[in-house]
Structure 1
Amino acid sequence: MQYEYGKNKEEHPDPIKAEVKGLIPDWLEGTLIRNGPGLFSLGETSYNHWFDGMALLHNFTIKNGEVIYRSKYLRGDTYNSNMHANRIVVSEMGTMAYPDPCKNIFSKVVTFLSHTIPDFTDNCANNIIKYGNDYHATSETNYIRKIDPVTLETQDKVDYMKYLPVNIVASHTHYDKEGNSYSMGTSIAEKGKTKYTLFKVAGGSGSEASPTALKNVEVVCTVPCRSLLTPSYYHSFGMTDNYFIFIEQPLKLDILKMATAYLRKVSWASCMKFHPEESTLIHLIDRKTGKEVGTKYYTGAMCVYHQVNAFEEDGHVVFDVIAYDDNSLYDVFYLDKLKDQIASNTVYCKPMCKRFVLPLSDKGEMGEDLVKLKYTKASAVKEKDGKVLCQGEVLFDGVELPRINYNFNGMKYRYAYTCCVDVSPVAGKILKLDVETKQKIEWTEENCFSSEPVFIPRPNAVDEDDGVVLVSVISCKPGQRCFLLVLDGKSFKEIARAYVDAEFHMDMHGHFIPDCC
């Protein structure tokens, strides 16, 4: 039995006590909140793409070995407008909304004109991020929604554009040890220039009196786009103690086509194109100066959605990513194709966990490999005009949705936790990867799909893998319940599962909030 993509899910806003089998460690206390699409049709209208569905938040609050479950739809302007009309009235990336055919001609004209320069959705169905003391649901538009991570109540709507000029913002945010947050957005054709902007939000800057911690935002640096009207799409970026790593890939948004998409009756997603003939630029930015280093790094055409980790060693910056040879992954999730693709095990471009190495010094002969680290096959060959051609080393293939012990973010690390996606875009297999030995350990179970694994370190732990891994698991067999899986971080053996009398939805990303924070 397959998971039914495109099926509307019920919310469960009242707390449900889970039935725990096994023993949850007594030190594990906090809330795991996760986000993903859960509503795909309203009235006689349906979304075209799985990513477009209305955001459904759900969480697992853990205390004294017990688990309480909740789920609730994000009540943003998009959700409220759609529900009021009982149809899709706000456009998403893969689904363009049009006027109600029952409206009079005057209303149709007004709606037509208003969509010529469209406002983006606040259906923030991708991730959970923290700014200051505030938690937000986010996607990749200029809107995020502040939420209560425990009750899942929707709070303030926050527009990035009121604080800094970014039209599109990455789904993933980094945090330093002082609690500051770092994010990245694209400023499109601002004062005749398109640029990428890295910005910092001070930790602990949120307050009850202020709608958002973004009031204290600080631009750290900007990177010019290599073309004014076709900026690169990106989902995440890398960060070490001293550097940011931004991958400007040849998967591009055509701004002119996006501006006229409504008139041409096409989706915004159709305005995103992969250019395999172009190279991928790798920008290495000094965090102290806000300037790019002098060396120009590049590699062949690839698509990257998720960074694994990055670190510095002996005059090199090492970074690991999940890379694709093209952008076919997005097409897999069109709802009219998804069921057939999963049922037939249709092969799409397989993801690869790749390691790239950027030498900080470009001293060497033309044609010389500047990578001096002995443990990697990644190369960086010096070319003319300050260019360095980087070739990545494939560490693993068929893996996605990577998470690490975030205490090791920006540091040399050994372990990553991922979903296995050999063929299907979803899987009932979770992997612990050892990036040093290239070995992997798996947890697997039939008739289920598993979410992105989240590693929670044991308080005061010394070893990198001393902790637990939490996974939301959807059971597909009739009569089986969904559950929260708890794995031991070291042995990767199951130590507990918390069964919930509710149907989970397939989510995307999540965030664990310890009780102490």
Structure 2
Amino acid sequence: MTMDFSKNAEERPEPSKADVKGNIPRWLQGTLLRNGPGIFSVGDTSYDHWFDGMAIMHSFNFKDGEVTHRSRFLRSDTYKANMAANRIVVSEMGTMAYPDPSKNFIFKAITFLNHTVPDFTDNGASNFIKYGNDYFATSETNYIRKIDPVTLETQDKVDYLKYLPVNLASSHPHYDKEGNAYNMGTSIAEKGKTKYLLFKVPAVAEKDKGKNVPVLKNAEVVCSIPCRSLLTPSYYHSFGMTDNYFVFIEQPLKLDILKMATAYMRGVNWASCMKYCPDESTLIHLIDRRTGKEVETKYYTGSMVVYHHVNAYEDDGHVVFDVIAYKDKGLYDMFFLSKLNTNTHDDAYSKPGYKRFALPIHSDKGIAVGEDLVKLKYTTASAVKEKEGKLLCQAEVLCEGFELPRINYDFNGKKHRFVYGSGVEDSALSQMVAKLDTETKERVYWSEENCWPSEPVFIPRPNGESEDDGVVLATVVNPGKPGFIVVLDGRTFKEVGRAYINAELQNGVHGFFIPQGN
């Protein structure tokens, strides 16, 4: 059976016990949250792009070898407005909507040009973020929605702009051992400058425990990076973090702010205002976490498009970081529903490549032009000194056809060996779960006929003996049949159990595991 990607989901807010086959480890205690688009049409109107669909959240609670499932639509302001009008009235990245189709061109121009930067949706259908003790559904706009991680009920709407000057923000933060969260946002044309901000959301302080203090009230900017172009900031989806550094890639995939500001008036979607400049280089920013300043050495590489960082770590005077990279921006275009539902492939789409870069932290002024400064023996990544003192970085390609990477997060910022992800061979959609050994370059897979697994999430076994001692969880869509969640042994990658859900599942985007007691 083929997949209908534009089919509206049904929510199941009441907890339902799943039918477990095999043996789910009893040490696995906690809740896997999954987020993604679930409503694609309202009344006679439909979204054009899969990422635009209104969010549906799923939770899978693991306790004593059993699994309980529930799902609920995110009751965002976007959801409420669309449902009240019985049509799509709030614009998304790939779908421009008009609240009143009877209004003429002049009305559109006057109403929209009152805003230099458009007011974005709060349809957080990409991921979940933990700030303090609170959980939020998020996309990449300035709005996040607090949710109850147990019932999945929608709670407060939070605007980053009330606390930080960011119009856009990543949905892939990092966390340290103390519970502090670090994230990135783009500040557009504030006081005549466009910049990227790295900010910290501290863990809840003792003095604030039990009080209703807004979690972003104590957020602080750690670092500010000027954008190389005032009106065309780089698009980014994630970043890297080690114990002492942040890694930010300023890539030639850009948002044209002037075009975005007039998109509504011109009757085009915001995605059409994103441009890829293949003749431009990619800048790699290495920021010292202690000082908030960029290191003296300047790094760059050829043009590429990166959505997901895998991990970054420090080794013998280098910062090594792994990313999933593309040669073009075709990935986004692959998810227009007209292409997904007809299985139409874009010739411009390139397979994702797992790339490893190595950045020598200190560039000795006595080093000769043309010399490779990378001294690590286990990678072919290079950083060659150029006349201006900049380092031209070339990556080692570990493999191709690998996306949605996840590691044992206990190794985030540390040297890792194993990465779990989606195997993508002949399309942008995953039909297998993969485990990559970065040392041997070997990959092993789990797949099943007519099944579409989600991004895998690795859960370490308490007091585990090795980096891959744990389980990998992936939700699986089986069109026309009940979906299930598969549990794989992290080391052998063999299936140890699965839990059939009394409902059809949807392809999601990202997931977040909450250990019991957190």
TM bucket by the smaller chain? over 0.9
Q: Map of 1:342-357 to 2, 5 A cutoff?
A: 348-357=349-358
Structure 1 contact 345–424 (Cα < 8 Å) conserved: no
What residue number does 2:471 align with? 468
Paired residue secondary structure (1:81): helix
Q: Which one-letter code corresponds to 2:310 in the other structure? A: V
Compute the displacement of 1:111 (Å): 6.4
Between the aligned partners of 1:79 and 1:173, the Cα distance in structure 2 is 25
Between the aligned partners of 2:212 and 2:107, the Cα distance in structure 1 is 35
Compute the displacement of 1:415 (Å): 0.3
What residue number does 1:372 align with? 375
What residue number does 1:404 align with? 407
What residue number does 1:447 align with? 450
Q: Which one-letter code corresponds to 2:372 in the other structure? A: D
Q: Which whole-Å deviations, capped at 9, do the CAs of 1:421-470 have from their partners, x for residues lacking one?
A: 11122122111100011111111111100000000001122310011000
Between the aligned partners of 1:463 and 1:418, the Cα distance in structure 2 is 19
Structure 2 contact 482–505 (Cα < 8 Å) conserved: no
Structure 2 contact 234–254 (Cα < 8 Å) conserved: yes
Between the aligned partners of 1:481 and 1:73, the Cα distance in structure 2 is 19
Structure 2 contact 112–262 (Cα < 8 Å) conserved: no
Q: Which whole-Å deviations, capped at 9, do the CAs of 1:387-422 have from their partners, x for residues lacking one?
A: 000000100100100000000000001000000011
Structure 2 contact 236–250 (Cα < 8 Å) conserved: yes
The TM-score normalised by the length of structure 1 is 0.96
Compute the displacement of 1:242 (Å): 0.4
% same residue:
67
Structure 1 contact 59–71 (Cα < 8 Å) conserved: yes
Range with greater deviation from structure 2 (506-515 or 114-123): 114-123
Range with greater deviation from structure 2 (315-324 or 422-431): 422-431
Paired residue secondary structure (1:135): strand
What residue number does 2:30 align with? 30
Q: Which whole-Å deviations, capped at 9, do the CAs of 1:183-223 have from their partners, x for residues lacking one?
A: 00000111111100000011135766436311110110110
Q: Which whole-Å deviations, capped at 9, do the CAs of 1:214-267 have from their partners, x for residues lacking one?
A: 111011011000000000000000000000000000000000000010111111
Say whether residues 1:135 and 2:139 are aligned partners.
no
Between the aligned partners of 1:115 and 1:150, the Cα distance in structure 2 is 39
Q: Map of 1:481-492 to 2, 5 A cutoff?
A: 481-492=482-493
Between the aligned partners of 1:347 and 1:386, the Cα distance in structure 2 is 35
Structure 1 contact 274–326 (Cα < 8 Å) conserved: yes
Where in structure 2 are there 5+ consecutive unaligned residues?
none
Q: Which whole-Å deviations, capped at 9, do the CAs of 1:122-158 have from their partners, x for residues lacking one?
A: 0010000100000000000000000011100000000
What residue number does 1:81 align with? 81
Between the aligned partners of 1:208 and 1:119, the Cα distance in structure 2 is 33
Between the aligned partners of 1:100 and 1:316, the Cα distance in structure 2 is 56
Structure 2 contact 330–348 (Cα < 8 Å) conserved: no
What residue number does 2:55 align with? 55
Moved over 6 A (4+): 108-111, 344-347
- Specify which of 206, 216, 219 is matched with residue 218 of structure 2: 216
Compute the displacement of 1:119 (Å): 1.1
Compute the displacement of 1:101 (Å): 3.3
Between the aligned partners of 2:244 and 2:422, the Cα distance in structure 1 is 30
Compute the displacement of 1:112 (Å): 5.6
Compute the displacement of 1:361 (Å): 2.0
Paired residue secondary structure (1:216): coil
Relative distance call for 1:215 and 1:271 in structure 2 (3 A) is: same
Q: Which whole-Å deviations, capped at 9, do the CAs of 1:2-33 have from their partners, x for residues lacking one?
A: 22111111111111110001111111111000
Between the aligned partners of 1:99 and 1:502, the Cα distance in structure 2 is 33
Between the aligned partners of 1:140 and 1:10, the Cα distance in structure 2 is 25
Structure 2 contact 54–79 (Cα < 8 Å) conserved: yes
Compute the displacement of 1:176 (Å): 0.5
Q: Which one-letter code corresponds to 1:508 in the other structure? A: V
What residue number does 1:305 align with? 307
The TM-score normalised by the length of structure 2 is 0.96
Relative distance call for 1:426 and 1:515 in structure 2 (3 A) is: same
Compute the displacement of 1:171 (Å): 1.3
Range with greater deviation from structure 2 (346-355 or 191-200): 346-355
Compute the displacement of 1:94 (Å): 0.6
Between the aligned partners of 2:101 and 2:267, the Cα distance in structure 1 is 15
Between the aligned partners of 2:389 and 2:296, the Cα distance in structure 1 is 8
Structure 2 contact 136–147 (Cα < 8 Å) conserved: yes
Structure 2 contact 306–325 (Cα < 8 Å) conserved: yes
What residue number does 1:113 align with? 110
Compute the displacement of 1:348 (Å): 2.3
Structure 1 contact 9–38 (Cα < 8 Å) conserved: yes
Range with greater deviation from structure 2 (14-23 or 113-122): 113-122
Structure 1 contact 35–508 (Cα < 8 Å) conserved: yes
Say whether residues 1:204 and 2:207 are aligned partners.
no
